[in-house]
Amino acid sequence: MARQVPIEHLRNIGIVAHIDAGKTTTTERILYYTGKTYKIGEVHDGAATMDWMPQEKERGITITAATTATYWDKDGIRYQINIIDTPGHVDFAVEVVRSMKVLDGIVFILS
């Protein structure tokens, strides 16, 4: 299958922060504002797109790094943004380290 987006228009972006800083909430907003989803999923309702495991929905935390792709059109160019939503709990830090090996950039959330 042919690549839909040239590699120079593709970015892998990680969302990184401590637990409960709003990583998944930020990711849900990005997906909504780029048109990937039609409704903002809320973590506290168990409706976040990125938290797909039953344990994540039940506990309201991210356990495994989750990836999705969205698109952004600017000046007639289509960019693909691969978003990696990482866990914030120290017990799952290995997921963050693994994710960082493929990232082009990081959104670091401080709260």
In the prediction, which pLDDT does 9 show?
94
In the prediction, which pLDDT does 43 show?
64
Task: Specify the pTM.
Answer: 0.78
Furthest-apart CA atoms within the chain: distance in Å: 43
In the prediction, which pLDDT does 2 show?
63
SS (H, E, C) the chain: CCCCCCHHHEEEEEEECCCCCCHHHHHHHHHHHCCCCCCCCCHHHCCCCCCCCHHHHHHCCCCCCEEEEEEEEECCEEEEEEEEECCCCHHHHHHHHHHHCCCCEEEECCC
Residue 69 token pair: 């792709």
Q: How far, in Å, CA of 109 to CA of 111, rounded?
A: 7
Q: For every one of its 111 residues, what pLDDT tens digit does the chain have, with 9 covering 90 and above?
A: 666 788 899 999 999 888 888 888 888 888 888 888 777 766 666 566 776 677 777 777 777 788 889 998 899 999 999 999 888 777 777 878 888 888 999 999 988
Q: Comparing C-alpha atoms, which of 33, 30, 110 is closest to residue 66?
A: 30
- Tell me the CATH architecture of domain 7-108: 3-Layer(aba) Sandwich (3.40)
Domain ranges of the chain: 7-108
